[in-house]
């Protein structure tokens, strides 16, 4: 793999993991525009490395929160920290169920179905617009909210539905504080990413070629740095109610994708 390709892919992964524009949807659009052969089929190891980088960037941004949560959990009391971790675990269940039992059905949707991507981007745009107009509160995420947000995360496995956009919007529309919604959204994805990495590692399908060490390293760094920037930026965007800009972007891209598929 070329170094420049690794850097570009790393930046794309780092940005789209946190910005509400749907990385999977954009990948499908890229394949349709450039042709499947124009989009490099990266190794599973490279994908794992990039996902690890974005998970690590989340941990760095929320390092103080995570340390406080760990300290609270270690007290072995039903305190606020253990409750928050339990809510994270509860939010993971829908995505885990979909990923385990409907993996093949999901993969079939990632076959250049541009009409589906366009429609899902429109849905993402509507969610972002509604969330942007919601009143800010001081409400924390409840257990019932956590499960509903988890369902939205599972739905976001569809190409064109932004994971961060869906989970943050759902949380805000449920009446939760915008900053707390963003915090919950980013922390809830970390266990899923590490779970997916563990699954890939245990699957025995990873192969390492020492000649790709440089590409893996720069890809990791690019994804990590881009992830730090995107995560921090996204928190500020949600707090300042600026999601409407991304709503407009997703709506435009979605409409173009629908027209493209019908022409």
When mean pLDDT is compared across 9-13, 92-96, 219-223, the lowest value belongs to 9-13
pLDDT at 204: 63
Which of 171, 219, 224 has its CA nearest to residue 47?
Answer: 219
Confidence of residue 37 (pLDDT cuts 50, 70, 90): very low
pLDDT at 38: 41
Which of 93, 8, 75, 62 has its CA nearest to residue 187?
Answer: 62
Look at 135 and 142; give whichever has higher pLDDT: 142
Look at 143 and 212; give whichever has higher pLDDT: 143
Confidence of residue 41 (pLDDT cuts 50, 70, 90): very low
pLDDT at 126: 94
Question: What are the pLDDT digits (tens) for 196-243?
Answer: 778 777 766 555 566 567 888 998 999 899 999 998 998 888 888 788
pLDDT at 39: 43
Which of 161, 150, 20, 166 has its CA nearest to residue 96?
Answer: 150
Look at 36 and 195; give whichever has higher pLDDT: 195
Quick check: helix, strand or coil at residue 234?
helix
> What is the arithmetic mean of pLDDT over 127-138?
86
When mean pLDDT is compared across 29-43, 163-177, 198-212, 226-240, the lowest value belongs to 29-43
> What is the arithmetic mean of pLDDT over 183-191?
88
> What is the arithmetic mean of pLDDT over 183-195?
86
Round to whole Å and give the CA distance between 248 and 237: 14
Q: What is the DSSP letter of 75?
A: T
Confidence of residue 123 (pLDDT cuts 50, 70, 90): very high
The residues spanned by each domain of the chain are 3-262
**The model's pTM:** 0.84
């Amino acid at each position: 793999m070329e170094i420049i390709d690794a850097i570009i892919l790393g930046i794309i992964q780092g940005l789209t993991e946190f910005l509400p524009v749907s990385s999977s949807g954009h990948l499908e659009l890229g394949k349709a525009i450039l042709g499947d052969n124009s989009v490099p089929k990266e190794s599973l190891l490279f994908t794992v490395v990039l996902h690890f980088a974005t998970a690590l960037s989340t941990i760095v941004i929320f390092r103080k929160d995570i340390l406080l949560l760990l300290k609270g959990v270690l007290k072995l009391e039903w305190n606020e920290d253990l409750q928050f971790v339990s809510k994270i675990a509860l939010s993971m269940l829908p995505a885990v169920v979909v990923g385990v039992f409907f993996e093949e059905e999901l993969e079939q949707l990632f076959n250049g179905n541009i009409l589906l991507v366009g429609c899902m981007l429109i849905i993402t745009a509507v969610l972002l617009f509604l969330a942007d107009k919601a009143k800010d509160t001081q409400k924390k995420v409840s257990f019932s909210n956590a499960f509903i947000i988890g369902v939205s995360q599972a739905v976001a496995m569809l190409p064109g539905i932004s994971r961060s956009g869906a989970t943050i919007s759902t949380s805000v529309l449920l009446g939760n504080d915008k900053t707390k919604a963003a915090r919950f959204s980013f922390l809830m994805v970390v266990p899923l990413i590490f779970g997916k990495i563990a699954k890939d590692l245990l699957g025995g399908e990873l192969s390492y070629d020492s000649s790709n060490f440089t590409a893996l390293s720069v890809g990791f760094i690019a994804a990590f740095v881009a992830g730090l920037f995107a995560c921090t930026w996204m928190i500020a965007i949600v707090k300042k109610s600026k999601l409407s800009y991304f709503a407009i972007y997703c709506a435009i891209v979605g409409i173009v994708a629908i027209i493209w598929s019908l022409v």
